[in-house]
Amino acid sequence: MKVHYPLRKLFVAMSATASVTAYAGDDQAAEAGFVEGASLTVDLKNYYFNHDRHNGKQDSKEWAQGFIGVFQSGFTQGPVGFGVDAIATLGVKLDGGGGSGGSSILPTTAPNPAKDNLYGKAPDSFSSAGGAVKMKAFDTVLMAGDMLLNNPVIAGGATRMLPMTFRGVSVTNNSIDHLTLDAGQVSFNKLFNQSGNSRLGTYYGTLPDGQNSQHMSWMGASYNGVPGMTTSLYASQLKDIWSQYYYDLDYVWQVSEQLSLNPGFHYYHTLDSGKALYGSINNNTFSVHLGMTLENQTLIASMQKVNGNTPFDYILDGDSIYLDNSQQWSDFNAPGEKSWKLQYIYDFAGWGLSGLTSSISYIRGTMDLTKATTAVDSGYSYYNPDGRDAKHWERDADIKYTVKGGAAKNLSVRLRWATNRGGDGYKAVDHNADEYRVIVDYPINIF
């Protein structure tokens, strides 16, 4: 997963898969040739997801096996090179979905009111396939088709069994050292628990019946020319819904061989645009963090604030929320919400256990939901108008072991646990729940 921030890298590295990073080798592929630069990876991912609700609603429990195949060609020789990429996925249900589905790793049919099920039956299997053509010239790569995208304003999810893909065009340029320019437009996405493509939606917004956004466009730049520093600036537009702008600055100060400090800042500004299908939006959301790494352990403190009467929102089921307090269960992004987090990360290489990493964190958020928008034409009018002193907290634990050598090299086993509890004022969502995930991931490089 392509992430621009060292602290996020520590955590995201625990969840990145070969399928999401498959497009990283285009520079080497361009030099090697169409066939010589080709690669094929297969990722075997076994996923158990248990969402345990404590508010009387039905629990979600699913277990499935995923297969992800990614082919990436090199480029033909010459001043203009051409190539193709392809991705195929298969999900096989092992358990769940018959009234206990809805955890998001399997698709589900419509609910059955006669059986009082929140979720319908999941199929025994589901699959998809897609591809893209690409062209390289003058340090610029143009792609058209089905793509895996990862930037602050549009990013496919890497936290479920199968990856998301987007259908459209993208262009990247690396003519200037340390500077990457990125732009594109997509009209469809394939969610990680679906076989087909659909129009773009957002995670928290609700569109009027019969309405949708035709496409999303973006452009941005990332720069890492100053030692220890990374920064990026992006602008995007989800047609007839919003215009969104993003800026970040992250710095690692190597105090000594054992000690480093990492301050960082992320900022989003979102405004309604076009037909304003979600209604009026004027949202400023930011987070700041300070991390301290001493040999094999890292301590992170962060603060996050949402300024506006609507939540901070992003593309449905993706990862384009580059905010420090976005966690396993909650994003801590309700209207006006302010939150803080403490996180501790440990690499057991310090004990001679190379490949074993862990993370624990605690996050608390508070907000006044009486100030949230209640306009009937808003896509966000569902917040509790009585939540004057709304609050909730989350506690996460994460441990992962990755095999470092031998026949099972890169095979990983990961355990994730999250607990979220909310007060009476915080009832807009499923606020009292525990999540348990067990993920066995085995990426294999075929060639």
Average pLDDT over residues 311-328: 93
Q: Which residues does residue 391 pair with via DSSP β-bridges, in sequence order?
A: 366
Can you give the pTM of this predicted structure?
0.90
Cα separation, 359 vs 298, whole angstroms: 9
Asked if pLDDT for residue 29 goes beyond 80, the answer is no
Average pLDDT over residues 390-410: 94
Average pLDDT, the chain: 88
Query: Which domains, ranges and CATH numbers included, belong to the chain?
Result: 6-445 (2.40.160.10)
Asked if pLDDT for residue 129 goes beyond 70, the answer is yes
pLDDT confidence of residue 104: 80
pLDDT confidence of residue 195: 87
For the stretch 336-349, pLDDT in tens is 999 999 999 999 99
Asked if pLDDT for residue 27 goes beyond 90, the answer is no
Count the neighbouring beta carbons within 10 Å of the beta carbon of residue 41: 19
Buried-exposed string 132-145: b where 16+ CB fall within 10 A, e elsewhere: bebbbeeeebebeb
Average pLDDT over residues 39-52: 94
pLDDT confidence of residue 95: 85
Backbone angles phi and psi of 114, in degrees to 5: -65, -30
pLDDT confidence of residue 70: 96
pLDDT band, very low/low/confident/very high, at 119 (cuts 50, 70, 90): low
C-alpha dihedral sign at 249, 23, 317, 239: positive
Average pLDDT over residues 238-255: 97
Least confident of 104-113, 260-269, 371-380: 104-113
More confident residue, 207 or 395: 395
H or E element: which one contains 283?
Answer: strand 282-294
H or E element: which one contains 9?
Answer: helix 6-12
